[in-house]
Amino acid sequence: MHQPTTEARPSIYYQYQVFQPWLASRHPAQKRQQVVIVGSGPSGMVTALELARHGVASVVLSAELQFSQGSRAICFTRRSMEILQQVGVAERMTEGGLPWRFGNSFYRGQRVFRMEAPHDPDDRFFPIINVQQQYMEEYLHDACQANPLIELRWGNQVVQVEQQDGYARVTVDTPEGEYQLESDWVVAADGGRSPIRSAMELQMEGASYEGFFVIADIKIDLPLPTERLAYFDPEWNPGNTILMHREPNGIWRVDYQLPVGETPEEALRPESLKARIDAQLEMIGFGGTPWEMDWSSVYSARTLTLPDYLHGSVIFTGDAAHLLPIFGVRGANTAFQDAQSLAWHLAFVVKGLAGPQLLANHSAERVGAAREIIDEAGKSTRFMTPPSAGFRLLRDAVLSLSLTQEFVRPLYHWRTSRPHEYTHSMLNSAGDDNRLFTAGPAHGAPPQNVRLGADDFLLDHLGGGFDLLYFTEAAALPAPLQQVVDVTRARGVPLRVTAVGAARPVAGADQTLADADGHLRARYGVQASGAAYLLRPDQHVCARWLTLDATRLQAALATALPQ
């Protein structure tokens, strides 16, 4: 019998609500579900919200009765905010969050590198915003609660998943015992230790790094701006690295590497935590400032992924699918992209709008993304926590040179999470004009946001299905294009047409953006009327044309939705 704790988790700044467990005895017998999502973390809830947006219902199972312990993921990238905007929680994230764009690296008391993340006036969101994960989960949970297509069941722990012919049987343990649930699809969003992954004996590929890091959240009043602070090889922790981040609610994250040979248990003893945090505060000139511990944990860097996320009726996503080092804020930020991708691919298969190849494409695209992240993150990780004597020597040589030599300083840059471009996706149109454009987002790229006016951006107007951006000054959509749009919609495919560049509403378009100053056209590399972009439901570009015609639109839609 699964008995999750009913005691609210301790926290200085966050009041945990303990939810009631969902009990099968209080509900009628259940039909087979279309989608069951195991896990109510960032990837699970965003998958549910995006599925619902595409009209697909889901049941979300959470083993616990409350949001996760501690701040965990705290840094959310611009692309994450754009995805969270799509599921309706970006405003709440912005209200409570601390945006930032500068990072500083220190060695021997000298600032040896300053990262300045660009902030384009065309972007609605900052490069990074800090929000504690419990709040993010609360916002997503509230959005799930408000959605009639999502049923979230607290206190429901999955103990077995059996693959059947075309569906899966899920055994769920609850405070009153087990019940069974059948589902066409099971999304394993059950986290880095994924019990489903273990039970299915799936092996991940990649590397694990030996160094342990302590994460500690402390309440302290430090008169420092919201910027990333990284300290290399300080006197109190020779050879190791310390990171600091400001969080909302008067909390600071202190993240430090442990000396070789020290166990996590030793490191988390209160006196050990206190001595090291005091030493760090002393080093940055705030020794003796009172502070209080909120939460601490230990992690090690890993760069691992499953080679395929699709296994029969089970699809792995987020940390259950891959384990990525936190340097470069790659956990939740990657999970949001996974979830956004998974939801539309799965929804279109569930609704019969595409064949099973579409799910294979999801797996191929996201495994590709994970491998790219692993490659990039591996470089940062080898600098932050050198895996061998050679890497340590090189890192130390760079630290030493960086005091006087400009050319090595970019090595401090830790390559912050960025959205993967599906450049070689099978969904990209082969017969379009992608290569003829000299600007704008190319095949597979996420869209470029564009400021349209005060508090008004391009991405506010897109999403939820395929988007056709049609650049025109004419009064109406050409009849042959209109016909393809109509036939596509009649098949059940959501396709929104946005006309760009006409002063008056264009007949046949769902919305018209005047783009009076031509800025949007410039950012999209459009020089003449008749050009177009086709964006997938995850907003990535799958086709673009200098001059769109009906035949090529039809072909691009057929390629994007393989049968």
Partner 1 sequence: MTTANALTIPGLETVYDALATAIDQAGPEKAQLFLVKLALLNANALADPEQFSGHIDAALKDL
Residue among 403, 443, 438, 439 at smallest CA distance from 422 = 443
Q: With CB under 8 A, what is the number of residues at the site for partner 1? A: 10
Quick one: 198 or 405, whose CB is closer to partner 1?
405
Within residues 61-80, the interface with partner 1 by CB under 8 A covers none
Determine the Cα–Cα distance for residues 428 and 556; give it in Å rounded to an integer: 7
**Token pair for 315:** 């699809």
Q: Does the protein bind partner 1 through residue 108 (CB under 8 A)? A: no
When the beta carbons of 107 and 185 are compared against partner 1, the nearer one is 107
Gap between the Cα atoms of 20 and 93, Å rounded? 26
Asked if residues 395 and 386 have their Cβ atoms less than 8 Å apart, the reply is yes
Per CB under 8 A, the list member of 220, 401, 426, 476 interacting with partner 1 is: 401
* Least CB distance to partner 1 at residue 395 (A): 10
By CB under 8 A, which span of 255-263, 394-402, 444-452, 537-545 interacts with partner 1?
Answer: 394-402
Interaction of residue 393 with partner 1, rule CB under 8 A: yes
The single residue among 398, 506, 535, 543 that binds partner 1, judged by CB under 8 A, is 398
**403 touching partner 1, by CB under 8 A:** no
Least distance from partner 1 to the Cβ atom of residue 375, Å = 17
Residue 304 lies near partner 1 (rule: CB under 8 A): no
Binding of residue 394 to partner 1 (CB under 8 A): yes
Report which secondary-structure segment, H or E, holds 456.
strand 456-457
Query: Rounded to the nearest 10 degrees, what angle do helices 331-350 and 42-53 cross at?
Result: 30
Angle (deg, nearest 10), helices 331-350 and 78-86: 40
Q: Which of 163, 289, 400, 483 binds partner 1 (CB under 8 A)?
A: 400
Q: Which residues contact 553 (CB under 8 A, 6 or more apart)?
A: 468, 481, 484, 485, 532, 534
Among residues 23 and 408, whose Cβ is nearest to partner 1? 408
Considering the rule CB under 8 A, would residue 59 count as an interface residue with partner 1? no
Of residues 329 and 399, the one with the C-beta less far from partner 1:
399
Kindly state the greatest CA–CA separation across the chain.
75
The region of 135-143, 255-263, 287-295, 391-399 touching partner 1 under the rule CB under 8 A is 391-399
Does position 289 interact with partner 1 (CB under 8 A)? The reply is no
Of the listed pieces 283-291, 319-327, 367-375, 395-403, which binds partner 1 according to CB under 8 A? 395-403
Count of H helices and E strands in the chain? 13, 26
Min dist. Cβ of residue 408 to partner 1 (A) = 7
Amino acid of residue 65 = L
Name the minimum Å distance from CB 104 to partner 1.
23
Q: Tell me the residue length of the chain.
A: 563
Under the binding rule (CB under 8 A), the answer on residue 301 touching partner 1 is no
Give dist(CA 22, CA 355) in Å, integer: 34
Stretch that binds partner 1, among 30-38, 351-359, 399-407, 469-477 (CB under 8 A): 399-407
Site string for partner 1, 447-486 (x = CB under 8 A): ----------------------------------------
Q: Residue 304 and residue 307: Cα distance in Å, rounded?
A: 9
Q: Which residue is associated with the tokens 């539309």? A: 344
Q: Which of residues 121-180 bind partner 1 (CB under 8 A)?
A: none
Query: Is 408 a binder of partner 1 (CB under 8 A)?
Result: yes
**HSE on the CB side for 288, CA within 13 Å?**
1
- Give how far Cα 562 sits from Cα of 34, 429, 543, 556, 558, Å: 21, 12, 15, 10, 6
Could you list the residues that contact partner 1 (CB under 8 A)?
393-394, 396-398, 400-401, 405, 407-408
